[in-house]
Amino acid sequence: LREANLLRANLSDAYLFRADFGLANLSEANLSNADLFHANFLYTDLSGVDLNGATLISTNLRGAILDGAKFKGARLYNTLFINVDISEVKELEEVVHVGPSYIGIDTIYNSKGKIPHKFLMGAGVPESFIECMNSLTGNAFDYYSCFISYSSKDEDFAKRLYADLQTEGVRCWFAPEDLKIGQKIRHGIDEAIKIHDKLLIVLSESSVKSDWVEKEVETAFEKERKENKIVLFPVRLDDTVMDTSIAWAADIRRTRNIGDFKNWKNHTNYKKTFDRLMQDLKADETKATESSSV
């Protein structure tokens, strides 16, 4: 069932012990009263899914999309809510806590602290921590988190960009994509993009003609269509992406502006483009949508 397309599937009352739904699409599926003991939903699309009355004991929800999911009467124990946003989950107050579950700090941040007190208490979160959650999350969402993807030949620029983003309080991670030899590339790309809010991709002569960049752009566009929000933030170090006839590059040129870091070694030029990038990474979806990109 891994990576399966189960959109609107009816799996109500099903016995799904240790079922692996990793990276699958279960959007709007019916899993009401299903036995999901030890099931794996790693990075699964569970938006709008019906989990009313389901058994979610020792169930892995790490990185899953849970917008609009229904949890009324679901039985939880040792359930992993790691790196998810549960602010839009319905009827969390009505779940049945058989025992404590795992609520990640990243989940609290992703949810902007909008998690019912009753749910947190039932999951075993200490009252003292719940009381200070607002102070922990109140200023924690100035910027989205992002993953910087680049060619190893552009590492000097990537390191500078990474350091400056970190200095400004942006949570970001980076890795040269063309060094991922030996990995299952598609899975690695999907995982990186699902973990982080935004994909900041560095386009240059070294990267544009490579195999991985097209896969990353396609994956980012797919996530944008699913979640109806901006994911891909392209920046360029030369004019290669502007001159090429490759289809994905044409899509980028047509749908958004591309941050121009051609003269990144010049402090003034770099700072001007960097400041625009910072504006678009601010955690305001309306502004991000209006400006579309860098």
Q: Global pTM?
A: 0.58
Residue 176 pLDDT: 64
Give the model's pLDDT for residue 291. Answer: 40
User: How many H helices and E strands in the chain?
Assistant: 11, 10
More confident residue, 139 or 110: 110
- Mean residue pLDDT across the chain: 85
Quick: pLDDT tens for 59-79. Answer: 999 999 999 999 999 999 999
Q: According to CATH, where is 3.40.50.10140 located in the chain?
A: 146-291
In order, the DSSP letters of 220-288 are HHHHHHHHTS--EEEEESSSHHHH---HHHHHHHHHS--EE-TTTTSHHHHHHHHHHHHHHTBS-HHHH
Q: Tell which wins on pLDDT, 230 or 67.
A: 67
In one-letter notation, the amino acid at residue 182 is G
Of the ranges 47-51, 145-149, 249-253, the best mean pLDDT one:
47-51
Most confident of 59-63, 111-115, 165-169, 192-196: 59-63
- Per-residue confidence (pLDDT) for residue 178, from 0 to 100: 47
Tell me the torsion sign for CA atoms 111, 113, 116, 118: positive
Average of pLDDT values for 15-22? 97
The CATH 2.160.20.80 portion of the chain extends over 1-140
pLDDT in tens, 170-221: 778 776 654 444 444 445 555 555 667 788 999 999 888 877 788 888 888 8
pLDDT category of residue 9 using cuts at 50, 70 and 90:
very high
Looking at per-residue pLDDT, the higher value among 37 and 155 belongs to 37
Mode of pairing for the β-strands spanning 96-97 and 232-236: unpaired
CATH architecture designation of domain 1-140: 3 Solenoid (2.160)
170 or 93: whose pLDDT is higher?
Answer: 93
**Higher confidence at residue 144 or residue 264?**
264
Lowest mean pLDDT across 81-95, 254-268, 271-285: 271-285
DSSP-assigned letter for residue 44: -
Task: Describe the chain by its helix, strand, coil percentages, rounded to 5.
Answer: 40, 15, 45
Task: Give me the pLDDT at residue 266, please.
Answer: 95
CATH classification code of 146-291: 3.40.50.10140
Q: How confident is the model at residue 135 (pLDDT cuts 50, 70, 90)?
A: low
Q: By percentage, how much of the chain surpasses pLDDT 70? A: 85
